[in-house]
Amino acid sequence: MAQLSDDCFAFGGAPMRVDEARALIAARIAPVARVERVPLVAADGRVLADDLSAPIPLPPFFNAAVDGYAVCHADLAPGGETRLPVAGRLPAGAAPGGGESGGTALRIFTGAAMPDGFDTVFMQEDTVREEGDVVLPAGLKPGANARPAGEDIEAGALALPAGHRIGPRDLALLAGLGIAEVAVRAPLTLGVFSTGDELVAPGEPLGPAALYDANRFMLMALARRAGCVVRDLGILPDRREAVSSALAAAAEEVDMLITSGGVSTGEEDHVKAAVEAAGALTFWRVGIKPGRPVALGVVEGKAFIGLPGNPAAVFVTFAVLARPLIARLAGEAWRPPTSFPVRAGFAYAKKAGRREYVRCTLAPDATGGLVARKHPREGAGVITSLTQTSGLVELPEEVTRVAQGETVAFLPYATLA
């Protein structure tokens, strides 16, 4: 069960700021507590349940970083070439033995364990082999081209923290440490509804006043990318009782519910009242554009978030608000995506107190810098404003005007979904 109490959030007169909404989610919502162990091969994309410490140092032994010749640096002639007899050959995986470090060199290969007394490796291309000797150039520092045990990570050090979402790079670290399975959070089960009598599913006949349901498919894809197991719950009609009963029934089978449409104040917007009837609506308006009406609440003890009905607003509010809610319930240590500075290729005016996200495409300018060019159609229902752009310019609450050429923060879609 989602640990979300009915009194988590309070209504206020003015819309809540984005950072306030995120802070409340982080402070008042506890993760769903299920934990399971999975083999490393199945761990990609899963959220670690506990801190994971290195059971061994990595690398576990002192070894050569290159193919070449291992020596004791103290045997090298100061300021000039050194000639040493080659006393043996040591490939990777071979036991290093005691070695003969007194005035000798060993032919060694990348990854091979360094025998006692040897501390430095000359790259083979920098040396000259003459019969049974090797001629070594001057100037190499002690310990060059050799990797000490624990250079990567010491035994007992924190390898990955609880809440970290495991990715391919992390799998390399875990495998290198010999970890065969990990404790992870069980994936959230998320139910997705669309609402509206005007909606029909793709592939069905389209009536004269009907629209194909676009939001549900976008939301299901976004939720899967966030690590959720998704249940497609279809389209709800514009009837309060039907919405309320469907939400209550679905809440028995999922960890979280998400809807699009029907959360504003119109006569045909029934989601807000339906959630109040089936549970508790504890959070409503956020100062965000596109997407001001966003409803957060509880249905049968399960977290619920209702997003606006226009596709661009759905995408933005999912990325900004639903994604951190999913992360919190999943036990993930989520951070807002990192933006980078670009120049605005447009002028723009906005209201103070509202965070706005402008759909833009990046293009290089004559100097090689990047310019964000605003999509020509700003409507929240324009789906091509998402498909024909590459990201969002984020304008904070205190900004009221952007001049062309001014530096703005850009969030690529790749960091949002």
Is the distance from CB of 370 to CB of 342 less than 8 angstroms? Answer: yes
> Considering only CA atoms, which of 144, 145, 124 is closest in space to residue 135?
124
Give the CA count within 13 Å in the CB-facing half-sphere of 235.
Answer: 18
Surface-to-core class of residue 38, CB atoms within 10 Å of its CB (0-12 exposed, 13-18 middle, 19+ buried): middle
Q: Kindly give the parts of the chain with pLDDT less than 70.
A: 1-13, 98-101, 263-270, 283
What is the C-alpha separation between 82 and 134, in angstroms, rounded?
8
Q: At residue 263, what are phi and psi to the nearest 5 degrees?
A: -110, 5
The predicted structure's pLDDT at residue 240: 83
What is residue 333's predicted lDDT score, i.e. its pLDDT?
A: 93
List 183's β-bridge partners, or say none. 37
Distance CA 341, CA 372 (A): 10
Confidence at residue 147, expressed as pLDDT on a 0 to 100 scale: 97
- Rounded CA-CA distance 83/128 in Å is 9
Q: Among 161, 171, 178, which Cα is nearest to 53's?
A: 161
**How does pLDDT run across 126-183, given as a tens digit for each residue?**
999 999 999 999 999 999 999 999 999 999 999 999 999 999 999 999 999 999 999 9
- Please give the Cα distance from 217 to 194 (Å, whole number): 9
Q: What's the pTM value of the predicted model, to 2 decimals?
A: 0.89
The contacts of residue 292 (CB under 8 Å, 6+ apart) are 15, 285, 286, 308, 354
Three-state secondary structure along the chain? Answer: CCECCCCCCCCCCCCECHHHHHHHHHHHCECCCCEEEEEHHHCCCCEECCCEECCCCECCCCEECCCEEEECHHHCCCCCCEEEEEEEEECCCCCCCCCCCCCCEEEECCCCECCCCCCEEEEHHHCEEECCEEEECCCCCCCCCEECCCCCECCCCEEECCCCECCHHHHHHHHHCCCCEEEEECCCEEEEEEECCCEECCCCCCCCCCEECCHHHHHHHHHHHCCCEEEEEEEECCCHHHHHHHHHHHHCCCCEEEEECCCCCCCCCCHHHHHHHHEEEEEEEECEECCCEEEEEEECCEEEEEECCCHHHHHHHHHHHHHHHHHHHCCCCCCCCCCEEEEECCCEECCCCCEEEEEEEEEECCCCCEEEEECCCCCCCCCHHHHCCCEEEEECCCCCEECCCCEEEEEEHHHHC
For 190, the token pair is 């998320």
Q: Which tokens is 236 given?
A: 């709800």
